[in-house]
Every structure is written in C-alpha cells, then in structure tokens.
C-alpha cells in the first residue's frame, strides 16, 4: 500500500491540527466524569470505609464487622454451638438470633434480612450458611451481590465513584486517537516530520484513555488515600477514628493488630470476636465465602 499522497504541505498541517484539536476536546469530555469533587469530605460509616477501601471481593470482612457491631449493641445474639460432623470431627457453628431492630441503619437491616433469608425460623447459623453456599452457590451469591451493589450505590451518592457509564465514549476516544496516530504516521511517511507531534500525542492520549477506565472520581481517590493512611495509623495503634476495632476488622487487619486495637480503644461488648483465637472470624469467613471469593463485584 502506497502512503505517498500528492497533497500540499498546508493540507498536512491543517489535517494534523484539526485532529489534535478534536482529540484534545474528546479527552476533556472523556475525563470529565473523574473531575467530580465534593465540597466537603464524606464521613463514611465503619463498614462503608472497609467496603470502599477493600472492594466488593472482601465484603465478608465488612459483614463480620457489622455482625460484631450489632452483637456489641445488643441488637442480635450470637452463640457458639459445637457439633460432631459425620466423620466424627468436632466443629463449631455460630447461631445468630435477632433481638432488637431499633436504631440499626438501612444496610445493617438489609444484611440481617439477607442472612435470615436462608432460614425458615428465627435463627440462622454459620453451619446452615456454609451448607447453602456449597449446595446452591448461585442462589447463595445473588443476595450478597445485591449487598455489594447497594454499597456501590451509596459510593455513587457520595460522589466517590462515577455514575456515568463511559463505554461508548471510550470506544469513540480510541477511534479518534487511532486516527490521530495514523495521520501523524502518514504525515511523517510523506517527509513532513512535524507529524511526529501527532504520533507522540496520540500515545499520551492512549495513556489517559486507559486511566479513564477507573470509576473512581477525584474525591474517591482522595478518600482512598485517607483510608490508606488510616490503615497505617491503626497498625501503629494511633486510634484517630470512631469504632477503630470495627474498622480494623473491616480492613482485614491481622488478628493480633485487631486485638491490640480493641484493648486500647474504648469499645466494649466485642469479646466474642476474640474467643479461641481466630475461631469466630475463621468460622464466619468460611460460612460466607469458603476458600474462594464467591461474592464478587
């Protein structure tokens, strides 16, 4: 294919300039969704911090922190039940029973409704959850994914992630940036080396295109950096946040870190989490997701 074109120098200049202007305008539209910034910082609840920081794949840590919170506030009762498995091995299950729904927020109530949807009575156990997860994984996953979407909706309301679906804009941007690269290459091939500007710019714009795939807004990125700093502070036992133990559980910190945080904090009523080392956490995690991240965003 012969790319030598019999057109004037000025035509090459005009074509490159027009494509550069079009590309830069398209870039502005593409990244507009990431320039949303709240005038004031959003004070996330303890489980919202962990969800936003860790993501939907680690929703089980947020769930466990909510259950510990509800137990400490006497909204639910959690009792340990040891039983003998078919192979004769002794195992542990925890039973959850509702006590008082007053004063709990929408997500906490939604979580309890989700858990008790797997029970026909007033009690739901980790043993029952584990069995359902193994035998009916699709039916089991769906309500937990609904929890993830619910929290994602909150993050959108807070302006931390974008509501805008930019698939069509991304495709259009890719086409425009590709034309810019092609026109620059043809210009250079015809001996006009200023076309290299279009080539270099198109490569830079491809980088912006890839970066725009993130749904997180500028406010979200700032919040994420603050949560990263909060995690490091918790590890150093610098408890400059409300409900530090619940936040630490949601962040998935090591058991030893969480125990030291609880000892130093003013929180109380969470002793069940620390009985028999990591038994409580491991039992609930196994019941919720097993060895795999069955709930996903």
Backbone angles phi and psi of 76, in degrees to 5: -140, 160
pLDDT at 161: 83
The residue out of 211, 240, 274 marking a domain boundary is 211
Other Cβ atoms closer than 10 A to 267: 18
Same domain, 270 and 192: no
Domain that holds residue 193: 9-30+167-211
Same domain, 22 and 146: no
Other Cβ atoms closer than 10 A to 125: 20
Same domain, 65 and 117: yes
Please indicate, yes or no, if residue 294 is contained in any of the structural domains.
Answer: no
The residue out of 181, 211, 241 marking a domain boundary is 211
Residue 165 to residue 179: CA distance in whole angstroms: 24
Same domain, 146 and 14: no
The helix/strand count (H/E) of the chain reads as 12, 3
Same domain, 115 and 184: no
Same domain, 52 and 193: no
- Cα 149 from chain centre: 10
Please indicate, yes or no, if residue 117 is contained in any of the structural domains.
Answer: yes
Please indicate, yes or no, if residue 295 is contained in any of the structural domains.
Answer: no
Kindly list the strands in the beta sheet with 76-84, ordered across the sheet, starting from the edge strand earlier in the chain: 76-84, 90-98, 123-125
Please indicate, yes or no, if residue 38 is contained in any of the structural domains.
Answer: no
Same domain, 151 and 54: yes
Please indicate, yes or no, if residue 112 is contained in any of the structural domains.
Answer: yes
Same domain, 126 and 171: no
Residue 63 to residue 78: CA distance in whole angstroms: 14
Q: Are 3 and 157 in contact (CB under 8 A)?
A: no
* Residue whose C-alpha is closest to residue 33's, from 213, 228, 290: 213
Q: Are 98 and 92 in contact (CB under 8 A)?
A: no
Residue 216 to residue 159: CA distance in whole angstroms: 9
Same domain, 110 and 246: yes
**Buried b vs exposed e over 104-115: b needs ≥16 C-beta within 10 Å?**
beebbebbbebb
Residue 91: strand, helix, or coil: strand
Same domain, 89 and 174: no
pLDDT at 292: 56
pLDDT at 137: 87
pLDDT at 297: 37
pLDDT at 189: 85
Entry pTM: 0.75
pLDDT at 163: 61
How is residue 227 written in tokens? 């949560």
How is residue 192 written in tokens? 């006009």
* Residue whose C-alpha is closest to residue 287's, from 47, 60, 29: 60
Which segments of the chain have a pLDDT < 50? 39, 294-297
Domain count, the chain: 2
Residue position matching structure tokens 């870039």: 27
Same domain, 109 and 152: yes
For residue range 255-291, what is the model confidence (pLDDT) as tens digits? 999 999 999 999 999 999 998 889 999 999 999 988 6
Residue 74 to residue 229: CA distance in whole angstroms: 31
Report the run of H or E that residue 249 belongs to, with start and end.
Answer: helix 244-251
Same domain, 233 and 158: yes
């Amino acid at each position: 294919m012969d790319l030598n074109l019999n057109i004037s120098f000025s035509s090459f200049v005009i074509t490159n300039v027009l494509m550069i202007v079009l590309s830069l305008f398209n870039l502005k539209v593409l990244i507009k969704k990431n320039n949303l910034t709240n005038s004031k910082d959003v004070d996330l609840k303890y489980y919202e911090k962990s969800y936003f920081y860790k993501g939907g794949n680690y929703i089980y840590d947020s769930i466990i922190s909510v259950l510990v919170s509800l137990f400490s506030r006497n909204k639910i009762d959690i009792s340990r039940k040891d039983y003998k498995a078919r192979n004769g091995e002794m195992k542990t299950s925890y039973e959850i029973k509702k006590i008082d729904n007053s004063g709990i927020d929408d997500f906490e109530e939604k979580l309890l409704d989700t858990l008790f949807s797997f029970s026909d009575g007033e009690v739901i156990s980790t043993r029952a959850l584990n069995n359902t997860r193994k035998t009916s994984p699709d039916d089991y996953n769906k309500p937990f994914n609904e929890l993830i979407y619910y929290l994602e909706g909150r993050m959108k309301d807070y302006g931390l992630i974008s509501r805008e679906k930019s698939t069509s804009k991304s495709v259009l941007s890719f086409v425009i940036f590709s034309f810019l690269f092609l026109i620059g290459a043809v210009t250079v091939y015809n001996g006009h080396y200023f076309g290299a500007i279009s080539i270099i710019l198109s490569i830079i714009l491809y980088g912006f295109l890839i970066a725009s795939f993130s749904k997180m807004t500028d406010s979200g990125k700032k919040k994420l950096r603050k949560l990263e700093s909060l995690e490091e502070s918790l590890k150093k036992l610098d408890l400059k946040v409300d409900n530090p133990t619940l936040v630490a559980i949601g962040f998935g910190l090591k058991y030893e870190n969480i125990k030291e945080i609880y000892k130093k904090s003013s929180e109380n009523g969470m002793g069940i989490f620390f009985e028999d080392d990591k038994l409580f956490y491991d039992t609930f995690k196994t019941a919720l997701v097993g060895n795999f991240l069955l709930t996903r965003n």
